Each structure stands twice: as structure tokens, then as C-alpha cells.
Amino acid sequence: MTASAQIPGINSAPPDPERYREQMSTVCAALEAAMLSRDFTEFYRLFRSNDLPFMPAAYQQDATGLFHLCFEFLHRLGSVSPATALAIENHLYVTSAIATFPITDAALNRRRNALVDLIVQRRMLVANTNSKVHTDKLGDIGTRARRDLLGFRIRGKASYTSLSTQGDLLVFLTEIEGEGRALFALPMQKNPDIEIGAYLFPSAMLDSDTRQITFHDLVAPEESLLAGGRDQDIALLVSFEMVWHQLLIPSLYLGAAARAIEEARQFLCATRSRDDRPLAELDGMMIDIGRLVIEYRGACSAVWRAGEALGQVKCLPRDAALLEKAADLASAAKYIGARTAEAVVTAARRILGARCFSGGHPLERLSQEIMFASLGPEVSAVIERRAGRQALQQRSFLDSCW
Ligand SMILES: Cc1cc2nc3c(=O)[nH]c(=O)nc-3n(C[C@H](O)[C@H](O)[C@H](O)COP(=O)(O)OP(=O)(O)OC[C@H]3O[C@@H](n4cnc5c(N)ncnc54)[C@H](O)[C@@H]3O)c2cc1C
């Protein structure tokens, strides 16, 4: 087995960043049009028909290169519609994690590659759920799998599935009774045993298409199990997926922050004060905008730094310590990226004032959606506790701060 332990998927087209960037422009223009018409049919048709959903297959050997492209794409989508960008993020993070997971185990590697090939061949979009449900106990999992003669039977309910009506394949985390966590992948539309239910948030983030999902004694064949059960590598795969998720979530919300700065710039350049000078020439305004730009760039740097750390993980389980390091950096990047994005949009809204909420101004939508940045995937208390616990070990923080 080579150090990177990866076999390129049979269907991966060679990476072509310039072609991807052209397609990003077309897809973002289609999203702008969809936001005006409130019809996403053409946006999803275009997205599915080009190479962007399948970049992960072309970058199986280069997680950092793939991260840079995903950052750029999600940042652009997030500048138009954070909720839609979140739906696309879910496809990209799951597909990227499966495509770049550098595991040495030959059987898991074969299953992983077969899944990537299937996604590319059938041009599938991937939705996911971690099976969390909102009950009176934090962390409750709402679904269970039981082994039987046909493979597995899956039952139960999950609160969150974004991209739920556009997704073709559902990658979901559940527990196999008597064994432990497991990751399955199954076709999700037109399956009477998978009920895609109501919006989880009846009036917020509608364009993320986040719905509750119920499994009615679903039969899952043995080959739909990607990892888990008696397999030791599930913890590594879940952790690797989480790093991808925590990197790509701030990417899209920082796109919303960049748009907010741009909206403030346009307003300040186009509006004159009572003494007839453009607001952009006021010293105080320059300082206010400068502060936002510095905070935005600092948060982007934290995300990029974590993206580079992910690329250092070349062979698992050998590089488990590097994965842990990447996970710490990604959760800090997500934390700081989400807070910064929310603070920048709030500050920009205060600069423009109430006109943000008139005439379909972009800051109205950004204001309503930016608050979701901090809410997941990891909740802030979990990130803060981990950082605090590490800092309070019996060694000087000066020796362990990086
Ligand atoms: C818009 C949106 C789309 C999503 N899409 C998907 C999706 O497609 N698939 C999917 O699987 N998931 C999805 N999620 C869920 C996401 O991955 C997280 O599971 C979710 O955001 C966690 O938030 P919660 O409020 O449900 O957490 P809960 O666990 O219910 O936590 C609620 C609150 O309890 C406190 N708390 C929780 N845990 C701790 C702790 N350990 N210590 C101290 N306090 C704690 C915190 O104050 C926290 O805010 C989505 C979430 C959002 C917001």
C-alpha cells in the first residue's frame, strides 16, 4: 500500500481549475436568477450538468487543492444565498470526505471508491443526516439499524436533512444494534420507505431544503454499508468528514460577510452626507470598514490554515494525530469564521440602516440567514470545552499553544 493509500476513481476527469471557475460564474448567475424568480429548477439543472459537483472525484489525491476550490465556490454561492450554499455544501463536504479519505484498509477503500464512481457515473447529488433528533436529551440518535437476512432494517426519524428534495443519494449515520455507529449510502427519492417530511424550520433557511426524514422499516442491502458496525475505521471516517464540514461551513458564511462589505462599500460610495461629501470619504467610515475587512481576512486565514492541515493527513490510521490536529484547527476556524461572519453582516446592516429591509435588498436575506452560521455542525459549547480542556492540561500553555 502506498503512503497515500488511494486508488483514483475510474471516472475522475483530470482537475481543471479554470474550467471549474468558468462554471462557478455560470452557476452563481443562475442562482441570482433563481433568487429573483423563486424557481430553482434551472439552477439545479445547471449545477448537476456541469463538473462542479464532481470535483471531489478529480482531487482524490489533493485534499487541500480541493478545499481551495470548494472554498471559492461556496464563498461565491454564500454571497448570493447562504441557505442555498448550505444545501450545496452538504453535497460537497460528504462527497469530498469520501473521495479524499486516505485509509489503508483495502476493503473500505474499495467501497469508498465504488461509491465515488457511482456518484460521478450517475451524476448524483448527495444529502446526509447524522440522525440527530430534538428530544429532552442532548445527542439523541433517532434511527437504528438491525441486521437481518436481507442485510439491514432501518427504522426511526432524523431531524435534519438539507438538500432533501434534490439529493439522489442519502449518506446517513446511524447505530447498528449491538455493534455501534455505521455509515450507509442509499438512493433516497421515490422510495416509499424513506419519507421526506416537513421543513424543520417552517420559515427560516427554506432554500437549504432542510427537512425531517423518517425511515419506515427500510431494507438496506449489505453493500449499502460504507463503514461501521464491527469496522474499526468508522471513528476516523466520521472525524475526517467533520473536518471537511467545519471547513466548508465558514467558507459559505464568510462569502455572505464579503457581500455585506461590498454592499456597505456601494452604499458609502453612492451616498453623500449633509455637507455633500461621499460617506466613503469620512475618516470614521474608512476605519469602520477597515476593521471589518481585517476581521473578515483574519477569519478566512484561519479557515485556509485548517484546510492546509487537512492536506497533511495522507495515510490513516498512521496520521491519526495529524487528523486530530486538523480537527482542532477546523473547529476553531468554524467557530471564528461563523462569529466573524455574523458580526460583519450586523455591522454592515447598521451602516446602511433601515434601507436594508426595503426593495429586496441583499442584506435583508443575509441578515436573516447569517445567524445559522454559529448553530452547527458542532455547537459552540463543544468547541469551547475542547479548547479549554486542552489548555488546562498540566503543561505550560506557552509550550502547547500551537
Ligand atoms: C440550517 C441547518 C442545516 C442542517 N443540515 C443538516 C443536514 O443536512 N444533515 C445533518 O445531519 N445535520 C444537519 N444540521 C444539523 C447540524 O449538523 C448539527 O447537528 C446541529 O446544528 C446541532 O445543533 P442543535 O441545536 O440541533 O444541537 P443540540 O445538540 O440540540 O444542542 C442545543 C443546545 O444545547 C447546548 N449543548 C449541546 N451540546 C452541548 C454540550 N455537549 N455541552 C454543553 N452544551 C451543549 C448548546 O447550547 C446548543 O446550542 C443542520 C443544521 C442547521 C442549523
Residues 215 and 243 placed together within one structural domain of the fold: no
Please indicate, yes or no, if residue 90 is contained in any of the structural domains: yes
DSSP assignment, residue 15?
P
Question: Relative to the CA of 132, which ligand 1 atom is closest?
Answer: 19
Same domain, 248 and 373: yes
**Cα→Cα distances 361→35, 296, 370, Å:** 12, 21, 15
pTM: 0.96
Structural element, H or E, at residue 287: helix 283-311
**Domain-located, residue 3:** no
State the distance from the centre of ligand 1 to the C-alpha of 151, rounded, in angstroms. 30
Strand pairing report for 180-187 and 225-228: antiparallel
**What is the CB < 6 Å shell around ligand 1?**
86, 90, 128-130, 132, 134, 138, 160-162, 205, 208, 210, 372, 375-377, 379, 381-382
Residues 312 and 365 in one domain: yes
389 and 264 housed in the same domain? yes
Cβ–Cβ < 8 Å for 162, 177: no
In this structure, the answer to whether residues 221 and 249 fall within a common structural domain is no
> In this structure, what CATH number is given to the domain that contains residue 258?
1.20.140.10
Q: How far is the CA of 94 from the centre of ligand 1 (A)?
A: 17
Q: Whose CA is nearest to atom 51 of ligand 1?
A: 376
| CA-nearest residue, atom 43 of ligand 1 | 381
Q: If you measure from the C-alpha of residue 384 to the centroid of ligand 1, how many angstroms do you get, rounded to a whole number?
A: 15
Q: Is 147 a member of any domain?
A: yes
Indicate which residue's Cα is closest to atom 27 of ligand 1.
379
Q: What is the pLDDT along the chain (402 residues), one digit of tens a residue?
A: 333 344 444 446 678 999 999 999 999 999 999 999 999 999 999 999 999 999 999 999 999 999 999 999 999 999 999 999 999 999 999 999 999 999 999 999 999 999 999 999 999 999 999 999 999 999 999 999 999 998 999 999 999 999 999 999 999 999 999 999 999 999 999 999 999 999 999 999 999 999 999 999 999 999 999 999 777 799 999 999 999 999 999 999 999 999 999 999 999 999 999 999 999 999 999 999 999 999 999 999 999 999 999 999 999 999 999 999 999 999 999 999 999 999 999 999 999 999 999 999 999 999 999 999 999 999 999 999 999 999 999 899 998 887
Residue 146 alpha carbon to ligand 1 centre in Å: 26
Q: What distance, in Å, lies between the first and last C-alpha atoms of the chain?
A: 32
Which residue has its alpha carbon closest to ligand 1 atom 41? Answer: 382
What separation in Å is there between the alpha carbon of 340 and the centre of ligand 1? 19
Domain end, chosen from 125, 159, 183, is at: 125
Residues 220 and 255 in one domain: no
Please give the pLDDT value at position 229: 75
> How far is residue 320's CA from residue 343's CA, in Å, rounded to a whole number?
34
Q: How many domains does the chain have?
A: 3
Nearest CA residue ID for atom 14, ligand 1: 160
| pLDDT attached to residue 151 | 95
What is the predicted pLDDT for the residue at 14? Answer: 79
Question: CATH number for the domain including 214?
Answer: 2.40.110.10
**Could you tell me how many helices (H) and strands (E) the chain has, helices first?**
12, 8
220 and 248 in one domain?
Answer: no
Closest ligand 1 atom, residue 385 Cα: 42
Record the cell numbers describing residue 23, joined without a space.
462554471
Q: Which of 93, 125, 157 is the last residue of a domain?
A: 125
The H or E element spanning position 185 is strand 180-187
> Which atom, in ligand 1's list, is nearest to the CA of 205?
1
Which residue, 82, 112, 4, is CA-closest to 344? 82
Does residue 138 belong to any structural domain of this protein?
Answer: no
- H or E element, residue 51: none
| Ligand 1 midpoint to CA 380 (Å) | 9
Best of 89, 126, 143, 160 for a ligand 1 pocket test (most atoms within 8 Å of beta carbon): 160
**Protein residue with its CA nearest to atom 22 in ligand 1:** 376
Do 376 and 349 fall within a single domain? yes
Within the chain, what is the greatest distance between any pair of CA atoms? 81
CA dist 299 and 302 (Å) reads: 5
CA of 159 to the centre of ligand 1 (A): 10
Going from the Cα of 8 to the center of ligand 1, the distance in angstroms, rounded, reads: 34
Assign 57 to helix, strand or coil.
helix
Q: Are residues 203 and 291 in the same domain?
A: no
Are residues 239 and 163 part of one domain?
no
Could you check whether the bond before residue 202 is cis, i.e. omega within 30 degrees of 0? no
Answer yes or no: do 251 and 183 share one domain: no
Range of the domain at 215: 143-228
**Ligand 1 pocket test, candidate residues 132, 253, 368, 380, most atoms within 8 A of CB:** 132
- pLDDT value, residue 12: 60
Q: What is the pLDDT of residue 13?
A: 67
Domain boundary among 185, 207, 228: 228
What distance in angstroms lies between residue 356's CA and the mean position of ligand 1's atoms? 29
Residue 6 falls within a domain, yes or no?
no
- Please give the distance, rounded to the nearest whole angstrom, from the Cα atom of residue 160 to the centre of ligand 1: 9
Q: What is the DSSP letter of 155?
A: E
Residues 322 and 193 in one domain: no
